[in-house]
Structure 1
Amino acid sequence: MSRFDSYFLMKANDVPEYVREKLSFFPKDAKLECKEIGDGNLNYVFRVEDIDTKKTLIVKQAGEVTRISADMKLSTDRGRIEAKILGIQNKYAPGLVPEVYLYDEVMCAMIMEDMIGHTMMRTGLLKHEKYPNFAEDITTFMVNSLLLTTDVVMGHKEKKENVKSFINPDLCEISEDLVYSEPFIDYNKRNNVFPPNADFVKRELYEDNALHLEAAKLKFEFMNNAQSLIHGDLHTGSIFINQNHTYVFDPEFAFYGPMGYDVGNVIANMFFAWCHGDATIEDEAEKADFCGWVLDTIEEIVDKFIAKFKVAFKENVTDTMAKTEGFLEWYLGTVLADTAGIAGLESIRRTVGMANVKDITTIPDEKKRARAERIVITLAKDYIMNRTSFKCGADYRKAIETAVAKIN
């Protein structure tokens, strides 16, 4: 009888024993050290290291409540969903997600490859590091993992079985509340509004009924369009990276939804990096270099996604009607409109909602932070209200430049 035969929330000193029991990854006599390294809101992440060989692995356990609020209770089944989707994503985008060694349904824990030699992308961007291969890697990941899990490519019965397997109501509800609802109508009184911008937020978000209508349309698109197996939380905190390689991880919000949700999240979070660099880099040449790279990368992500999507569609389409002339252009157009809309929603919720981003909150100068938030909100409203007009990377660059000029 093992003490791991029934669920409990592990501490760091429990994990080495757990790993020894579940895997033969380390020698039996290995001296193991464990540290909790997670900084997310939902789970507990531990790194286990062999002190002598420096060999490591990661254990990730799902808790029954969130780390930001004990009142937000969640099904631990999200761990199963995450382990399963990592396997699917590794099939379609090999090498761009970490390998899963084991998923334990009792402890709701996953043992996986340690992304050693990589840094959490948000952490690197806060240091104003540039990643030349990111646009290439992330667009390959998104096109392959998203398009290849749609009805365009998959057998329709198989796809419907996938939809059933990835129903994820607890985490979807978090997105429905924190992304699509509360930032616009603070009915749960959980928003984090920076006091110098309180009046701006009230006028531009809480009192803009036309914006509420478009957010509502996007919310019901999110809830009802089982288009693709999406990551569901694809921000720079869900990416580990170095100068040569990218890993995408942490897909516990995965379910069948609109694929533009993932693409829009990436775009929004890249712009947060621009805001931090613009507000905190004192040397003008250094600022121009980093912020210019961010804008180039946003543009490159959109254009590479479009180009790769078209190629992959033509190579993989199986549905007879989807082969109809003009369908690809229409279908991609809906994805691009969703992308812009989601970029706006993610931008707003990370600025005024319950879960803010360090890119903004660590700007030390209050006036510069207030300015950054106003730029983000102004840009986000453009994304949402005019989402069908964002058809290429240059459209995003132009919108960013317009928003910056308007706030200046």
Structure 2
Amino acid sequence: MTSQLRQSGGPAQHEYRILRDADLRGYLAELRAVATQLGGPPEDWSVSEVGDGNLNLVFIVRGTKGGIAVKQALPYVRLVGESWPLPLSRSHYEYLALVHQAALAPGLVPAVLHHDEALALIAMELLEPHIIMRKGLISGVCYPRFVDHITTFLARTLFLSSDLAVPAAQKKEGIAAFAGNHALCKITEDLIFTEPYFQAAQNRWTSPWLDATAIAFREDFDLHVAISRLKLKFMARPEALIHGDLHTGSIMATEDETKVIDPEFAFYGPMGFDLGAVIGNLIMSYLASAGHEHSAGERRSFEQWVLDAIENLWAEFSRKFVELWRGEAKGDAYPKTLFAGQAGAARLEAERQAYMDRLFRDTVEFSAAKIIRRILGLAHNIDFEWIEDPRLRATCEARSLRLARAMMLQTREFRTIGAVTIAARALRDWQPDFGG
């Protein structure tokens, strides 16, 4: 990459430093292709830091001809500060993931324009007029093409990086390429699968209304066993290259386009984790919706769209994944020589369905884990946080926690995605007893 940049008039690699307005302007001016795309003299470019995530700096740079987005990793967790150091290598893994995802699911991730590993910096296309999907959902926006786009992304990136699609040696090379991203995996292992279930210093929740619930979750050993089994799946099952943080804040969308961003948590892990992340966040969007109403019932059509999206997401993903399996199974798993003839083909088809049933159970469990961490852990969702009335916020969160606990402990009762949406709908107007 460095040699390519030098050949095109780019700068040599630098030692790491945090780039601010003037530094970034000067750095980009040395990148011939980027500067040409922006247009005009560098002193006329506008540079705005817009990052609202937990980890990184994000800039929008505009010139006379166009704009770009620039993301630079910080050597610590931005949400917490320098007391929580974090490797800059996560930017390298994000770059690798973006390139890989672009090859497997063209048009569904932003195009990379430049990567500087030493500066932990990626310049990419500026997505306009896209907005963060989570913010659109809070406003009640429906996205008619979202399900088609996200299921294509999920089916292709997961299947085509799995043992079903690639030879074992190639799969192992992929695992090795992302194995160094263990610091980001550790964040997931702690913040999702461990800390919400004990009195971790960084946990927070809507107090005092959820105090009793937080205590109950910390004392629920059935739940602790379930989340520990799920944590083991996350750590020990390198099924495919997963995004690793695929919530509605990692999706930018319009009514016609969907782009998946921020894959810095990418590694080879269980497929159900990505699926569960998307579905869990849609469930939270649905159960938070009541908190964003100005008048009773005004968001019912939006809420129905969310429920339909949840159901269609699993149905379409499953259809596309199995279709890929039937047509592009070039991996070493389920060798064709073992399933010859009509009887063999029928048996393999039954096994595909059994595989999808197992994947669905994983998806339900991971969905539950994602919901619980966003309410009782460190990093919360604005779906709930932007509900101004704290008691109403706690009510929406309590509904979500009640559903998540059932999904975690009674997974086999949720045999279909319709069972999940029926349960969510039943809790839409449930009133928790906060006491006092």
TM over 0.5: yes
Q: Name the SS for the 2:60 alignment partner.
A: strand
SS of the equivalent of 1:293 reads: helix
Aligned partner of 2:155: which letter?
Answer: V
1:340 correspondence with 2:361? no
* Other-structure match for 1:135: 147
Equivalent residues of 2:289, 2:299 under 8 A apart: yes
Q: Read off the aligned partner of 2:221 and give its amino acid letter.
A: N
Alignment deviations for residues 31-54 of structure 1 (CA, whole Å, 9 cap, x no partner): 21111111111111111100x33x
Check 1:402–1:277 CA distance in 2 against 1; reply closer, same or farther (3 A cut).
closer
Q: Tell me the alpha carbon deviations over residues 323-362 of structure 1, each in whole angstroms, 9 at most, x when there is no partner.
A: 5523312322221111111100000000110001111111
1:247 is aligned to 259
Partner of 2:47: 34
Q: Give the distance between the partners of 2:212 and 2:333, measured in 1 at CA.
A: 53
Could you tell me how far apart the structure 2 residues matched to 1:360 and 1:322 are? Answer: 47
Conserved? CA contact 1:183–1:348, under 8 Å = yes
Give distance in 1, aligned partners of 2:187 and 2:32. Answer: 34
1:182: which partner in 2?
195
Residues 153 and 316 in structure 1, CA contact (< 8 A), matched pair in contact too: yes
Superposition deviation, residue 322 in structure 1: 5.4
Distance 2:283 2:167 in 1: 37
Deviation of the 1:388 alpha carbon: 3.7
Secondary structure of the residue aligned to 2:158 is: helix
Where do residues 191-340 of structure 1 align in structure 2 (5 Å cutoff)?
A: 191-195=203-207, 196-203=209-216, 205-318=217-330, 319=332, 321=334, 324=339, 325=348, 326-340=350-364
**Aligned AA for 1:363?**
I
Question: Is the alpha carbon distance of 1:320 and 1:226 closer, same or farther for their aligned partners in structure 2, counting shifts above 3 Å?
Answer: closer
Q: How far, CA to CA, are the matches of 1:22 and 1:105 in structure 2?
A: 15
Deviations 1:153-195 (A, max 9, x none): 1111011011011111100000000000011122x32111211
Q: Aligned pair in 2 of structure 1 residues 337, 5: CA closer, same or farther (>3 Å)?
A: same
CA distance in 2, matches of 1:259, 1:208: 27
Is 1:63 paired with 2:109? no
1:155 aligns with 2:155: no
Q: Partners in 2 of 1:228 and 1:399 — Cα distance?
A: 30
1:47-96 deviations in whole A, cap 9, x for unaligned? 1100x33x001111111101122222111111111111111111111000
Contact 1:322 1:328 survives alignment (8 Å): no
The separation in 2 between residues aligned to 1:290 and 1:320, in whole angstroms, is 42
Which of 49, 56, 74 pairs up with 1:43?
A: 56
- 1:358 is aligned, of 360, 377, 382, to 382
Aligned residue type for 1:65: Y
Give the 3-state SS of the residue equivalent to 1:71 in structure 2: strand
| Cα separation, partners in 2 of 1:58 and 1:320, compared to 1, 3 Å | closer
**Residue 391 of structure 1: how far off its partner (Å):** 4.0
Distance 2:382 2:103 in 1: 33
AA partner of residue 290 (structure 1): F
Report deviation, 1:321: 2.2
- Give the TM-score normalised by the residue count of structure 2: 0.89
Question: Could you say which residue in structure 2 is the equivalent of 1:93?
Answer: 105
Cα displacement (A) at 1:314: 0.9
Give 1:405 deviation, angstroms: 5.9
> Following the alignment from structure 1 to structure 2, what is the Cα–Cα distance between the partners of residues 322 and 4?
46
The 2-side partners of 1:127 and 1:120 are apart by 11
Q: Does residue 82 of structure 2 align to residue 82 of structure 1?
A: no
**Equivalent residues, number:** 404
For the pair 1:108 / 2:117, whether they are aligned, the reply is: no
Counterpart-to-counterpart distance in 2, 1:22 and 1:79: 19
2:410 maps to which of 386, 391, 395: 386
Contact 2:288–2:397 (CA under 8 A) maintained in structure 1 = no
Choose 243-252 or 19-28, whichever is displaced more.
Answer: 19-28
Sequence identity percentage: 33
2:182 maps to amino acid: P
| C-alpha RMSD of matched pairs (Å) | 1.8
* Residue-by-residue CA offset, 1:256-312 (whole Å, 9 max, x unaligned): 000110111111111222233212213345221111111111111111111111111
Note if contact 2:287-2:424 (Cα within 8 Å) is conserved in structure 1.
Answer: no
Asked if structure 1 preserves the Cα contact closer than 8 Å seen for 2:196 and 2:203, the reply is yes
Moved more, 77-86 or 17-26: 17-26
Partner of 2:14: 5
Cα distance between partner residues in 2 of 1:288 and 1:398 = 15
Number of the residue aligned with 1:375: 399
Q: Tell me, which stretches of 5 or more residues in structure 1 are unaligned?
A: none
Q: Separation in 2 of the partners of 1:229 and 1:3?
A: 31
Query: In the aligned structure 2, how far is the partner of 1:57 from the partner of 1:83?
Result: 16
CA distance in 1, matches of 2:400, 2:297: 23
